[in-house]
Amino acid sequence: MHLPVNPIDIAAPASHYNHAVFIEPGAVWMMLSGQLGKRPDGSCPDSVVEQSELAWYNVLAILAEKGFGIRNVAKVTSYIVGEENIGGYVQVHKRIVAEHMPPWTLVVVPALGRPQYKVEVDVAAAGRASC
């Protein structure tokens, strides 16, 4: 369904992603709001690794509602507060996306919506789903 696109005449991806994916015709799209590292009760751990895991857990739970999974992810944008938090986020990101490696943009920002938030994960997914 998702065909990687990595032209040989441009620089290779700088990290764990493909430059692009081609989505086959007839796919349905699911656009998610950015997901934070929040627990169901609204609390937020201090650790960037825990926040990253929770943000991805939330992404996967939303995708699962329509029969999607990580292989349906077509694009990821990650917002990380502060350069010091990049490493913690990246280790979780690599583990979650594994060999799928969707196109990925990582943006370091000075802040998110509330001071305790360190990570936000924004995802678009495509595939066959139950509507």
The structural architecture, per CATH, of the domain 2-7+30-127 is 2-Layer Sandwich (3.30)
pLDDT at 130: 62
pLDDT at 90: 97
pLDDT at 18: 85
| Stretches in the chain below the pLDDT threshold 50 | none
Instruction: Fill in the amino acid letter for 118.
Output: K
* Angle, helix 86-97 to helix 48-64, in steps of 10 degrees: 30
Q: Which residues pair with 31 in a beta bridge?
A: 124
pLDDT at 107: 98
Report the chain's mean pLDDT, rounded to a whole number.
93
Question: Quick check: 5 and 18 in contact, CB under 8 A?
Answer: yes
| DSSP E strand boundaries for 25-82 | 28-31, 35-36, 73-81
Q: What is the pLDDT of residues 41-68, one digit of tens each?
A: 999 999 999 999 999 999 999 999 999 9
pLDDT at 22: 87
pLDDT at 131: 56
Taking the whole predicted model, whether its pTM rises above 0.85 is answered as yes
CA 9 to chain CA centroid, Å, is 27
